[in-house]
Amino acid sequence: MSVKRKHRSQVNSKKRFSVAPLSPIPPYRLKLAFSILSLALIGLMTRVAYLQLIQGYALESEARDNQTKKIEPLGKRRSIVDRRGRLLAFDEKRFTLYADPGRFRFPGDIKGIIRTPEEVANKLEGLLPITNKKLVRFLYRQESGVSVKLIEGLKPDIASNIRNLRIDGLDLEAYPQRIYPQDDLVSNLVGFLDYDRVPQAGLELSFDNELSFSEKSRSYRFGRDGTPLPNDIEPGVFAVDNIQLQLTLDARLQEVALNALRNQLKEWKAKKGVAIVMNVENGELLALASTPTYNPNRYWEHKPSLYKEWSVQELFEPGSTFKPINLALALQEKVIEPNGTVYDSGLVNVGGWPLTNWNKKPNGLLNFAEVLQVSSNVGMVNIMQKLNPSKYWEWLNSLGLNKTIETDLPGAVPGYMKEKDLFIKQPIHQAVASYGQGFSVTPLKLAQLHALIANGGYLVNPHIKKSIRDQSFDSPNRSEMNILNPKVTQTVLAWMESVVEEGSGKGVKIDNYRIGGKTGTADQTEDGRIYTSKICSFVAILPIENPKFVVLVAVDGPRKPYAYGSTVAVPVAKKIIESLIVIEKLLPVNS
């Protein structure tokens, strides 16, 4: 039995490990496999050729469109800054929020779900300056499928918070908004843009070309991870325009001048006022304050009559502040001598017109410094009568009294003076001109004429632009030759200093600083005949030993008694001068 089992197991083992004999693969099978692979390869090559040769251009264009981002210009505008870089006007990005209630969905919502206005309003709570009730009521009134403007003027941080909510149906659109951070400090000068960003006044209008820069749509490509691709980038696509319009103005001094003017207008119940600070050597304007004024950020709340800059757009009779100019002309023509005198009887008759001093009193024998100290009208008439009327008119004409002042300030108007024939034939015109009446100039023109005395006889062009496009203002700022002899101007400066030391300008005196000045109180007319109000003014030059600045203050229409240049304009000038000394680091005489 055991031998049989052993034999049987050996037989079974041989059966399990038997190997079938090798036989060649039938040829038809090889041909079938080769045909299948060949057809697949041909199909693949055909597809590649189709994509490359036929659809290649279309696919490349589609890829570029998907990878390329097009940036549309916002139409931004360059900034305006003062001489120290303080912003006066700039563009800031704002956003308009649009809503389409028919598309309201939150992140992760299943397709087909539309959120209610209440749900969206709850998400927006605290982000918009409107209540939930009003927002919900507004959204329910809107037609589904139509985007409507929900609110505009959103700041970038608020827009970012809304964008982070990722609510479908809420869309943000960026736009630039002009901001005037100093409010009404320089509004009469800088001006404003209207709702459509069209300049309407001030430097925004006169420097529109310099402040605007042309932009075109720009495109650049991104990789899959959002990285900009280095190829095909347009030149300048990442360039930033950092050009600014820099003014000669000092906002600190401007603030002092404007506040001092406002306080004085309130004190004297006056109509308006202007203050000017100008560098006598190059014509730079450090302050140009006018009041009343307006807030350019809310210009629509103010009368258009406030948009003007009085210093260059309105005329006034300078009165006694013009007397130093007349004395310089008399000295230049040698009809008086520096140490001469004139007699003031208190009354002089010219062509049947009786002319008196401001206080109706005589002053007796005066030297020319005393003429300015007591502001003698009669003395000035007697002095200027020594000058040939034709020559006198020619001098006034050569000084540009009837011309538009050369300046970059917008809206400058020409002065007014009598025609030459009328001026010569009727002596009264020469007589009243001797104490600054019968003709009209802008406040800025008067400041320019006093700078002529201060700088040794050169006529400078007042200007407000310091630099733009990284280039300094390079227009000619002063006449090439002396209009007046420097010795003449030095003499007049000494006389003007005596006005501050001993005359009507005492109120501006500051210890250890030499200041010259002249007060003025001129009657004003509306129709050339009826005197309705007066302008109180004061012009200062400092420091006398080395003149650098002219300070002019004029206040129109004070309605309280005893309103004169010495009581109304001088206090404003003193506050300005005190700040000017600190800001410009002017050293005292004894230093």
Q: What is the dihedral sign for C-alpha 199, 203, 209, 213?
A: negative
How far is Cα 185 from Cα 204, in angstroms, rounded to an integer? 15
Residue 399 in domain: yes
List pLDDT tens digits, range 6-52. 555 555 555 555 666 777 778 877 778 888 888 888 888 888 887 77
CA distances from 186 to 89, 90, 206, 236, 312 (A): 10, 13, 15, 34, 15
Residue 57 in domain: no
Look at residue 326 and tell me whether its pLDDT is greater than 70: yes
CA distances from 344 to 334, 362, 521 (A): 20, 6, 19
Residue closest to 310 by CA, chosen among 413, 398, 404, 231:
413
pLDDT of residue 110: 83
pLDDT above 70 as % of the chain: 85
List pLDDT tens digits, range 155-167. 888 988 888 888 8
Residue 558 in domain: yes
The amino acid at residue 236 is: G
Q: How many domains does the chain have?
A: 1
pLDDT of residue 24: 77
Backbone angles phi, psi at 215, to 5 degrees: -125, 150
The residue behind tokens 């000038």 is 573
List pLDDT tens digits, range 351-361. 889 999 988 99
pLDDT of residue 234: 54
pLDDT of residue 275: 97
What domain range is 579 assigned to? 251-583
pLDDT of residue 92: 87
Average pLDDT, the chain: 86
pLDDT of residue 319: 93
Section 227-255 average pLDDT: 72
Higher pLDDT, residue 578 or 411 = 578
Residue 40 in domain: no
Instruction: Choose the weakest-confidence range: 74-78, 183-187, 196-200, 305-309.
Output: 74-78
Which band of pLDDT confidence, cut at 50, 70 and 90, is reported for residue 491?
Answer: very high
Look at residue 144 and tell me whether its pLDDT is greater than 90: no
pLDDT of residue 473: 47
Contact 257, 543 (CB under 8 A): no
Section 199-222 average pLDDT: 77
Instruction: Choose the weakest-confidence range: 459-473, 476-490, 522-536, 569-583.
Output: 522-536
Higher pLDDT, residue 145 or 333 = 333
The residue behind tokens 């030459």 is 420
**Which CATH number characterizes residue 358's domain?**
3.40.710.10
Section 294-315 average pLDDT: 90
Q: What number of residues does the chain have?
A: 591
Look at residue 528 and tell me whether its pLDDT is greater than 50: no
Which band of pLDDT confidence, cut at 50, 70 and 90, is reported for residue 257?
Answer: very high
Section 128-143 average pLDDT: 80
Higher pLDDT, residue 107 or 6 = 107
Look at residue 472 and tell me whether its pLDDT is greater than 60: no
Section 327-341 average pLDDT: 96
Residue 390 in domain: yes
Look at residue 509 and tell me whether its pLDDT is greater than 80: yes
Tokens representing 147 are 């985007």
How far is Cα 167 from Cα 162, in angstroms, rounded to an integer? 8
Which band of pLDDT confidence, cut at 50, 70 and 90, is reported for residue 209?
Answer: confident
Look at residue 476 and tell me whether its pLDDT is greater than 70: no
Which segment, 13-17, 116-120, 547-551, is predicted with the most confidence on average? 547-551
Section 554-571 average pLDDT: 94
Residue 470 in domain: yes
Higher pLDDT, residue 69 or 261 = 261
pLDDT above 90 as % of the chain: 54
Residue 97 in domain: no
pLDDT of residue 527: 46
Residue 567 in domain: yes
Look at residue 564 and tell me whether its pLDDT is greater than 90: yes
